[in-house]
Chain A
């Protein structure tokens, strides 16, 4: 169960970024090459490829290479998992506790 929770957290982390969400929205319409995906973004290619890597690492997309062209496609199963009610609750608690931990360090700092 801990391993599953870890994976779903990586999905939520991946989804937290607006560039990556836009890429996913694009892929909803079908597979696309790296250059096709990168075209709408004003971003250096290596940074963009890093976003693709994050999406692929958490299993939201996969890719295949034909000749020199790498094509990405959506893995719908992962997105459906992210919709799971308990995963949302977990994400909510994770974020709540992230905020708590950051706040605690501030409290400690103030009282020195």
Chain B
């Protein structure tokens, strides 16, 4: 079924089991009024969220940082199978137009597990160059200054 091959140096797979039925988990992933509550790790927040839930349809979030910075991520859905599978990417803009800075494709798969749901989130990333670009954009979601300074120190040791 799966066509994607994972590269352990670039890609991530996270699996969770929640005591909530698949219908609710699907809703949380696909409705802006829900996404805004959890999609961005604190202290960042979701300032704007657009969803047009069909292949080629918009998935856009504008995230706001604690210092007033903004990060706008726009892409489109590639596959929408209600309560089973959701795939989107920032490599294609809404309407499948190729984007300037492609970085990731994300796959969320759900399946019933007892009365709850087992879901898997897979993030497929671009190569080393894409990573660098992403970092240069200053995308340090949720990373405190103190920690950054600490890591700077550690590099010198």
How distant is B103 from chain A, measured CB to nearest CB, in Å?
10
Contact indicator A79/B151 (Cβ below 8 Å): yes
Nearest CB of chain A from residue B89's CB, rounded to whole Å: 16
Which chain A residues in 85-109 approach chain B with CB under 8 Å? 85-86, 88-90, 92-97, 99-105, 107-108
**Across the interface, do A108 and B155 meet the contact criterion of CB distance under 8 Å?**
no
Asked whether any CB of chain B lies closer than 8 Å to the CB of A83, the reply is: yes
A90 CA / B16 CA spacing, docked (Å) = 14
1/0 per position for B49-88, CB-CB distance to A under 8 A? 0000000000000000000000000000000000000000
Q: How far, in whole Å, are A1 and B12 apart by their CA atoms in the complex?
A: 11
- Contact: B18 with A104, CB < 8 Å? yes
Assess whether A96 is in contact with B39, with CB atoms less than 8 Å apart: yes
Q: Are B38 and A103 in contact, CB atoms less than 8 angstroms apart?
A: yes
**Assembly CA distance A74 to B34 (angstroms):** 42
- How long is the Cα–Cα vector from A100 to B42 in the complex, in angstroms? 12
Query: Do B38 and A102 touch (CB < 8 A)?
Result: yes
CB distance from B25 to the nearest CB of A (A): 6
**Residues of A participating in the B interface, judged by any CB pair closer than 8 Å:** 1, 15, 18, 21, 24-25, 28, 74, 76, 79-80, 82-83, 85-86, 88-90, 92-97, 99-105, 107-108, 111
Question: 3 smallest A-B Cβ distances: which pairs?
Answer: A79-B154, A99-B38, A95-B41
